[in-house]
């Protein structure tokens, strides 16, 4: 594809909050441009997310101008030149041009500058190194336009040096390639990632989680994960067996269900076979409590779904609730191998849309009236009655419910007399 020569007709650049930030900072001898991912996505014709601004103005000047214009300014990283301006509820990260004086992992000693080329050269990938001025002129100091046209993700400068500056760039290389690249990863970058893979041990679990969950939902995630595995990277991140076939099947299952890509569902397909896998991933990636609970539930005897008829499925749905039921069915579907093409899996997975479990109609009062005292015994009787009700497939007529209650009390009384 050919990227447009300019973005002069882009309404997001000429109007609204973005235009207001650029107008604020493009005066008095200072210059500001939109930089990074917003420019990349605009040239690719893709939706634009966060809009980052690069400027020659130092942070103190950015804050001064914002206050005069009654714009909220948050000093989110002034030591690195970043101030966040909030306009109409939209945040803009405004960062002063920089050049690295000394780098040692994530900790770099930087100097503020006014040289756009030097600032571009310290960024990670060529497709992220473009800037655009308020009139829509695209500035390319690093060959990013050609790489956008080729759908190629390439490090700026020497790949090994970029990686040594921040080992998270190994994960970003594969994640950005999965999202925007085509074909095999850039060879020089790939080899540099392999050479620098020991540096992954220096990354915090939180940073790994952020990058990997973004990678999970990228359009080229399946191919990128295979490439990472071939490079000896994936085992270092998961510390367990990975299942590429199940991951690919999960993508197909999501599409058949009309679901948006789900990072946790896909992670479960890739790396969770039993609940111990979920616990390990939670610790290594510092997953949230909600994410951990989802993976743990998915890994709990999902294999029992194979060959399950709808009556059993209804009982599972009643026990698990719609969300946990669907997650577990989706994992079983993804792990079904050749059988994943069977339409029965979609029938099972869509059960919550077709059927709503009834509420258990018997209450504590029904059993107190039959002579069961309040306390642990009552709870036990209610559980036995509920199990019997499920086994009979949710009857609601009064005669069936009376029989269940009477039989349950009789069985409980008989068993506890022995």
3 state SS of 388: helix
Tell me the β-bridge partners of 96.
Answer: 55
Distances (CA, A) of 265 to 105, 179, 251, 323, 349: 32, 18, 9, 11, 13
pLDDT band of 109, cuts 50, 70, 90: low
Q: What is the pLDDT of residues 125-159, one digit of tens each?
A: 999 999 999 999 999 999 999 999 999 999 999 99
Q: Where residue 8 falls among pLDDT bands split at 50, 70, 90?
A: confident
Which band of pLDDT confidence, cut at 50, 70 and 90, is reported for residue 108? low
pTM: 0.89
Pick the closest to residue 254 from 147, 371, 346, 386 (CA basis). 346
Q: What is the pLDDT of residues 63-99, one digit of tens each?
A: 999 999 999 999 988 888 999 999 989 999 999 998 7
Mean pLDDT score of the chain, rounded to an integer? 94
Beta strands in 22-147 (DSSP E): 32-35, 51-55, 72-77, 82-87, 90-96, 98-104, 107-112, 131-132, 138-139
Please give the pLDDT value at position 88: 87
The span from the CA of 264 to the CA of 268, in Å, is 6
pLDDT at 19 over 90: yes
From 33-37, 106-110, 156-160, 298-302, the region with the lowest mean pLDDT: 106-110
Residues sharing a CB contact under 8 Å with residue 266, sequence separation 6 or more, in sequence order: 216, 217, 221, 247, 250, 251
pLDDT of residue 80: 85
- What single DSSP character describes residue 337? G
pLDDT in the model for residue 418: 45
Q: What is the pLDDT of residue 24?
A: 96
pLDDT digits (tens, 9 = 90+) for 159-189: 999 999 999 999 999 999 999 999 999 999 9
Domain map of the chain by residue range?
A: 1-150, 151-238, 269-353, 364-416
Q: What percent of the chain has pLDDT over 70?
A: 96
| pLDDT per position as a tens digit, 397-416 | 999 999 999 999 999 999 88
Cα distances from 338 to residues 97, 333, 342, in angstroms, run 54, 10, 8
DSSP 8-state secondary structure symbol assigned to residue 185: P
Q: Which of left, alpha, beta for 232 (phi over 0: left; psi -120 to 50: alpha)?
A: left
Bridge-based pairing state of the strands 51-55 and 90-96:
parallel
Which pLDDT band, with edges at 50, 70 and 90, does 107 fall under?
low
Cα distances (Å, whole numbers) of residue 260 to 24, 254, 417: 38, 7, 56
Please tell me the distance from the alpha carbon of residue 137 to that of residue 36, in angstroms, as a whole number.
Answer: 14
Summarize the confidence of residues 101-123 as an average pLDDT. Answer: 76
For strand 107-112 and strand 98-104, is the pairing parallel, antiparallel, or unpaired? antiparallel
Report pLDDT for 27. 94
**What average pLDDT score do residues 34-39 get?**
94
Let me know if domain 1-150 sits in CATH 3.40.50.300. no
What is the DSSP code string of 6-25? B-TT-HHHHSHHHHHHHHHH
At the fourth CATH level, the homologous superfamily of domain 151-238 is: cca-adding enzyme, domain 2 (1.10.3090.10)
Q: What is the pLDDT of residues 207-260, one digit of tens each?
A: 999 999 999 999 999 999 999 999 999 999 999 999 999 999 999 999 999 999
Residue 416 structure tokens: 């506890």
DSSP labels, 232-298: T-HHHHHSS---HHHHHHHHHHHHHHTPPP-HHHHHHHHH-SSHHHHHHHHHHHT--HHHHHHHHHH
- Look at the block and give the residue holding tokens 């956008």: 148
pLDDT at 416: 82
Would you state the structure tokens that stand for residue 24, as one six-digit string? 């604020």
Which is more confident, 389 or 8? 389
In this predicted model, what pLDDT tens digit does every residue of 276-312 receive, in sequence order? 999 999 999 999 999 999 999 999 999 999 889 999 9
Angle 348-349-352 (CA atoms, 0-180°, nearest 5)?
Answer: 95
Mean pLDDT of 41-68: 94
Give residue-wise pLDDT tens across range 181-202.
999 999 999 999 999 999 999 9
């Amino acid at each position: 594809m050919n990227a447009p020569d300019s973005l002069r007709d882009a309404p997001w650049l000429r109007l609204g909050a973005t235009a207001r930030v650029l107008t604020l900072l493009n005066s008095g001898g200072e210059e500001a441009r939109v930089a990074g991912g917003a420019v990349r996505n605009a040239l690719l014709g893709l939706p634009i997310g966060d809009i980052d601004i690069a400027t020659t103005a130092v942070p103190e000047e950015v804050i001064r101008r914002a206050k005069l214009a009654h714009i909220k300014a948050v000093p989110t990283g002034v030591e690195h030149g970043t101030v966040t301006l909030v306009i109409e509820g939209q945040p803009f990260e405004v960062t002063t041009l920089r050049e690295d004086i000394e780098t040692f992992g994530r900790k770099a000693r930087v100097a503020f500058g006014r040289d756009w080329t030097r600032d571009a050269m310290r960024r990670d990938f060529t497709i992220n190194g473009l800037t655009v001025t308020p009139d829509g002129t695209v500035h390319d100091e690093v060959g990013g336009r050609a790489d956008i046209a080729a759908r190629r993700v390439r490090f700026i400068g020497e790949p090994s040096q970029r990686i040594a500056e921040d080992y998270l760039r190994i994960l970003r290389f594969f994640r950005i390639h999965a999202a925007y690249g085509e074909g095999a990863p850039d060879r020089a970058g790939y080899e540099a990632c392999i050479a620098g893979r020991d540096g992954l041990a220096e990354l915090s679990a939180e940073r790994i989680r952020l990058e990997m969950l973004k990678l999970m939902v990228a359009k080229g995630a399946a191919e990128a994960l295979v490439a990472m595995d071939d490079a000896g990277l994936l085992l270092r991140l998961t510390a367990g067996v990975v299942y590429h076939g199940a991951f690919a099947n999960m993508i197909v299952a999501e599409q058949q269900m009309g679901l948006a890509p789900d990072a946790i569902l896909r992670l479960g397909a890739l790396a969770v076979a039993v609940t111990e896998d979920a616990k390990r991933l939670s610790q290594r990636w510092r997953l949230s409590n909600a994410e951990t609970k989802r993976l743990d539930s998915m890994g709990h005897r999902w294999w029992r779904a194979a060959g399950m008829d709808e009556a059993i499925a209804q009982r599972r749905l009643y026990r698990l609730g719609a969300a946990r039921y669907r997650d577990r069915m989706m994992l079983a579907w993804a792990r079904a191998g050749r059988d994943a093409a069977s339409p029965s899996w979609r029938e099972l997975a869509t059960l919550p849309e077709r059927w709503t479990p009834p509420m258990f109609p018997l209450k504590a009062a029904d059993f107190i009236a039959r002579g069961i005292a309040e306390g642990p015994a009552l709870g036990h009787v209610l559980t036995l009655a509920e199990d019997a009700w499920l086994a009979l497939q949710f009857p609601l007529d009064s005669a069936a419910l009376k029989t269940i209650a009477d039989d349950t009390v009789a069985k409980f009384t008989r068993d506890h007399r022995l």
